[in-house]
Amino acid sequence: MIGRLSAVVLDCPDPAALAAFYAELVGGTVEADDETWVDLNREGGQQLSFQLAPAYRAPAWPDPERPQQYHLDIAVERAEMDDAEKKVLTLGATLLEGDLDGSRNWRVYADPVGHPFCLCAC
């Protein structure tokens, strides 16, 4: 091993706003020194960071011309999936693909600036 993963960094047009969205989604403490970089520190979890990208262009699900490049999987108890969906939609997420009437274990969303993420039943 050469090193350890210290953070996952997301480009975005407003780092503070996107950090606040993910703080509600996965918990953590938002820390910002300026408007160009914001960290979401999560005790016992992976740090997320948000970097200002003034010319940010959101991925287009599932358009290969503007691919997702990555996505985050968020584990949710199966019995809590509908409630979790209501919460992420209220926070500003957009449903991209449902779970096909329960035939698969995940639902795909876009965060407020278009990064895809999944709620995955566990």
| Domains, in order of start, for the chain | 1-56 (3.10.180.10), 57-122 (3.10.180.10)
Q: Provide mean pLDDT across the span 106-115.
A: 94
Burial bucket for residue 38 (CB in 10 Å: 0-12, 13-18, 19+): buried
Q: pTM of the prediction? A: 0.83
What are the tens digits of pLDDT across the range 31-60?
998 999 999 999 988 899 999 999 999 988
DSSP string covering 86-105: HHHHHHT-EEEE--TTTTSS
Does pLDDT of 5 surpass 80? Answer: no
What are the tens digits of pLDDT across the range 60-92?
888 888 887 788 889 999 999 999 999 999 999
Q: Look at residue 82 in the predicted model and tell me its pLDDT.
A: 94
Instruction: Establish whether the linkage from the previous residue to 62 is cis, with ω within 30° of 0.
Output: yes
- Rounded to an integer, what distance in angstroms lies between the CA atom of residue 114 and that of residue 122? 24
Distances (CA, A) of 47 to 96, 100, 104, 116: 25, 31, 28, 18
In angstroms, how far is CA 34 from the centroid of its own chain?
A: 21
The string over 17-34, giving b where at least 16 C-beta atoms fall within 10 Å of a residue's C-beta and e elsewhere, is ebbbbbbebbebebeeee
